[in-house]
Structure 1
Amino acid sequence: MENLKKWVETSLKSGYDYEVYLERTEKLLVETSNEQPENLSKSKEVGLGIRVIKDFKQGFAYTTEISQESVIKCVKRAMESSELTPEDKGFVLNKNPFRGELKAIYDSEGTTISVEDRIEMLINLERLTKKLDKRVVGSRKSSLKELKVEVYCLNSYGLEYSYRTTYFSCFTSALAVENGEEAISYEYRAGRFIKDIDFEEMAKDVAFKATAQLKASSYETKVLPVVFFRDSATLLLEAFSSMFLGDSLTKNKTMLKGKENTPVGSPLLTIIDDGMLEHGLGSLELDAEGIPSRKNVVVERGVFKGFLHSLYTAVKCNAEPTGNSVRHSFKSLPTSGIRNLYIEKGPYSLDDLLSMYDETFLVLDLMGLHTVDPISGDFSLGASGIILKRGNKEKAVKGVVIGGNVKDLWEKLVGVGKDLRMYGHVGSPSILIEGITVGS
């Protein structure tokens, strides 16, 4: 790092502040299909992103070659791009001179598992899924991905930190067949340690969702209570998550602007973003700009408490940074983002939620999530799942549409499950909404 620092500083013109972000990544992906190995891929990538600031003008460039010549060229490109950038008071660097190596969240044991054993883990996952229900006849694809990441970051104000970490993610599918009719479902889990992935629960969930949707048909249009199964609730939360970000606030792209400390939902609704969540996919002591991570309560008992800020959006909005600066890679600038966002769990089991009303629609799959509007809060989504009468399955339905506004949905929240699960950076328990229009 000393050489890197020297290369940057000797090539910078007078008056420039700088930030250097170096990232090394190794990826291993194993895929199976119908209990057979299908694909194996390995890759490595190293790159360096350089951000420079002078007179509130910012420039950025990156390179995949870590040599003196390449770094000098990268610095020059960054300075050239800053000259074309309009002045913006939000272009500042973290002046906290933290120096040191961050606590490693690294699965030394998980990374030593052989490729053969990883294949066997996926095949066992498929076998277990089929064993749970004879109607499950196969899996179109299952995958297990490992990422090993090393990061070094420093700036001209003395900030200098490094860390290494691991990420694991697993995806599987289940194909169910009954009397010539088919239904397929999918399941995903991720964690910093491979032991964080509960393969048995994945098998149970994907088998349940696939078999529950067999013999599905259309449904009449009506308003009725809806339970979003935990992964569907998670997908819905993720689709609207940008409304909590400082970047959305600065661009007027959120329905929550001006609504701090006002009710936006039921008193049963608490939404948290926790950068220090144990083994969380987005957990780290510092955010991408070196701001200390923390637990941020975004919505507390139905009241919106505030936005999630990077250093830039905090300056622009005259607020404090919340430790929510993220970088997607060395090729991108830091921006505000979620760390570990989730709806706080409640006291009810899934069966409790499904039995609270005479008739309930359990949503097991959502389609069209990319169409939701975080500015207005409006959504209209395709859905499939189960109609239950007094807690017992009445029929499977598909091709129905559920729509409305997310604020109305939050206000009609009448039950929160205790089955909170994290699906990557976002999580939720199952939730019960008092009434949503469901129709064909």
Structure 2
Amino acid sequence: MDGANKIIDQAQEILSRKPIDGYEVYFNQSSHFDIESKDGKIETLQTDQYLGMAFRILNHQRMGFSYTTLSNPFPSAPQNFSGELDRRIEDAIRSAEATSPDPCFDFAPELKASLPELPIFDEALEGISEKIKIEKAKDLEASAKAVDPERIKKVRKASYQEVLSKTTLVNSNGLRYSYNHSLASASVTAVAEESGESEMAWDFDASHFFNDLDVEKVGRSAGRRALERLGGKRIPTGVYPVLIRNHVASEFLSLLAHSFFADQVQKGKSPLRGKQGERFFSPLLTIVDDGLYSKGIATAPFDGEGMPSQRTPLVTQGDLTHYLYDRYWANRENLFSPGSRAGSTGNSRRHGIKSPPGVGISNFFIEPGDLVLPKLMEDFLHGVVVEEVMGLHTVDPISGDFSLGCSGDWIDRGQKVHPVKSIAIAGNLFELFRGVIGVGDDLRFFGAVGAPSLLIKELFISGN
């Protein structure tokens, strides 16, 4: 039996002696490795080990929470953590006493079927030498500079990162399940300079498997995009068709995610409340949350409270079909909405060890269309391709209204003419997704959110 299981067993033994109705133990053990290259030399090399446990206690319909982090948990000599675990469990019991009873609290049932084996762990990653990983970071930096050594003057934060983790969830209903997860990523920012003008661009790649990372492609992309931003001009103020590139479309989509959360819907904070079955978005849009998506970084066999992950269609050809639930908010809907048969969609998410789980996305994305980028642009008489937006944090998540600085390219008769900068786009988030008239085939994920390029019928652009 390994050290992690011994600690979990210690916790369960303590919990079994407490006068409580139920419990849940969440255990996460991870290692982190970060490298940053600058001017062909290693600027940063850092490794970290982390182990944490979180407890949820259910007693008289009251839920309590506590957590602990353990240092050097697996020394050569056996170590007993019973004292620390007992203190944290007592903290959870006391926190439950301070809350109000709520019949909607419960824990996930024991799994009745085996969960799928998912391609989310690179067994070879830990055995790959540090030297090879250092070369990845150096190649990333060199690839960005090689695009144009005369104009790519600087490369910032050419970094390689990896995380190896093991997650275990145990509860008093008999649930006990573990899975391993790995993620390797590379990112770089290139700076292009010409005639006193300076422009930056960033790109990245991430995969569960080390050998799938293409650092040269990432470096070339960042360098090329920085060069393409040079020589930007302003354009006349007006209403134009707009092509939003996939990375920007993903940023807009991430703002939409909260509107699908059952807690936001039930609290009246989502414009999607009461809209199930209605055409709320463009008929060209299908939006999905898929915790089993093979290449997604948020892919896992179960969610933050032990419910099996699943694929949930949220919008089908523009029609709102579903919301995202954890167990609590599904129970609450069923309690207060007679006839409701809501159930968890496997969307309980933990954002670290220090807070209890809540409703969240897994791999949240717009399904791709079949239009290549030139096809999306060919019907433009005049229009703008948006490559970057600034100030997304200012978007009102309830009303959806926005006014954002942006940059991109001016399109004339389907062809890029020149870069544009110092402009702003204004509109409404929900109207933007209703106004989609073309969907690209270039789905790409940025974190747990993915989108293809989207052609928008029109947006107001403030320029000259």
Q: Give 1:98 deviation, angstroms.
A: 5.2
SS in 2 for 1:150: strand
Moved more, 29-38 or 272-281: 29-38
User: What is the 5 A alignment of 1:98-109?
Assistant: 103=117, 105-109=120-124
The residue aligned with 1:9 is 16
The residue aligned with 2:127 is 112
**Separation (CA, whole Å) in 2 of partners of 1:111 and 1:61:** 31
- Checking the alignment, whether the CA contact within 8 Å between 2:380 and 2:411 is kept in structure 1 is no
CA 421–183 in structure 1, closer or farther in 2 if over 3 Å, else same: same
Instruction: Point out where structure 1 has 5 or more consecutive residues left out of the alignment.
Output: none
The residue aligned with 1:413 is 436
Q: Give 1:204 deviation, angstroms.
A: 4.0
The residue aligned with 1:45 is 50
Q: Give 1:371 deviation, angstroms.
A: 1.4
Instruction: Point out where structure 2 has 5 or more consecutive residues left out of the alignment.
Output: 1-7, 74-80, 335-341
1:302 to 318, 322, 329: 318
- Checking the alignment, whether the CA contact within 8 Å between 2:139 and 2:216 is kept in structure 1 is no
Aligned-CA RMSD value: 1.9
Moved more, 205-214 or 322-331: 205-214
**Separation (CA, whole Å) in 1 of partners of 2:39 and 2:386:** 27
- Checking the alignment, whether the CA contact within 8 Å between 1:189 and 1:424 is kept in structure 2 is no
SS in 2 for 1:202: helix
Q: Give 1:297 deviation, angstroms.
A: 0.8
**Separation (CA, whole Å) in 2 of partners of 1:249 and 1:240:** 13
The residue aligned with 1:54 is 59
The residue aligned with 1:395 is 418
State the one-letter code of the partner of 1:264.
F
2:373 to 333, 350, 361: 350
1:71 to 85, 90, 95: 85
Q: Give 1:261 deviation, angstroms.
A: 1.3
State the one-letter code of the partner of 1:199.
V
**Separation (CA, whole Å) in 2 of partners of 1:27 and 1:409:** 39
Matched, 1:368 2:391: yes
1:173 to 189, 192, 197: 189
2:235 to 219, 222, 246: 219
- 1:354-406: CA deviation from partner (whole Å, max 9, x where unpaired): 22211121111111111122211222211111111122222211121112112
Q: Give 1:334 deviation, angstroms.
A: 1.1
Moved more, 194-203 or 389-398: 194-203
- 1:94-152: CA deviation from partner (whole Å, max 9, x where unpaired): 12345989746311223333232222212212222233345333311111111111111
Q: Give 1:328 deviation, angstroms.
A: 1.8
Matched, 1:80 2:94: yes
**Separation (CA, whole Å) in 2 of partners of 1:303 and 1:34:** 51
Matched, 1:143 2:178: no
**Separation (CA, whole Å) in 1 of partners of 2:113 and 2:34:** 34
Q: Give 1:292 deviation, angstroms.
A: 1.3
User: What is the 5 A alignment of 1:141-220?
Assistant: 141-220=157-236
- Checking the alignment, whether the CA contact within 8 Å between 1:240 and 1:374 is kept in structure 2 is yes
**Separation (CA, whole Å) in 2 of partners of 1:100 and 1:76:** 33
Matched, 1:128 2:143: yes
**Separation (CA, whole Å) in 1 of partners of 2:158 and 2:237:** 36
1:331 to 354, 366, 381: 354
Q: Give 1:225 deviation, angstroms.
A: 0.9
- Checking the alignment, whether the CA contact within 8 Å between 1:102 and 1:162 is kept in structure 2 is no
**Separation (CA, whole Å) in 2 of partners of 1:421 and 1:5:** 42
**Separation (CA, whole Å) in 1 of partners of 2:260 and 2:88:** 34
Q: Give 1:251 deviation, angstroms.
A: 3.2
State the one-letter code of the partner of 1:336.
V
- Checking the alignment, whether the CA contact within 8 Å between 1:34 and 1:140 is kept in structure 2 is no
1:20 to 2, 20, 25: 25
**Separation (CA, whole Å) in 2 of partners of 1:157 and 1:308:** 24
SS in 2 for 1:317: helix
State the one-letter code of the partner of 1:33.
K
1:89 to 87, 103, 127: 103
Q: Give 1:175 deviation, angstroms.
A: 0.9
The residue aligned with 1:312 is 328
**Separation (CA, whole Å) in 1 of partners of 2:92 and 2:112:** 25
**Separation (CA, whole Å) in 1 of partners of 2:280 and 2:115:** 40
State the one-letter code of the partner of 1:95.
P
Sequence identity (%): 34
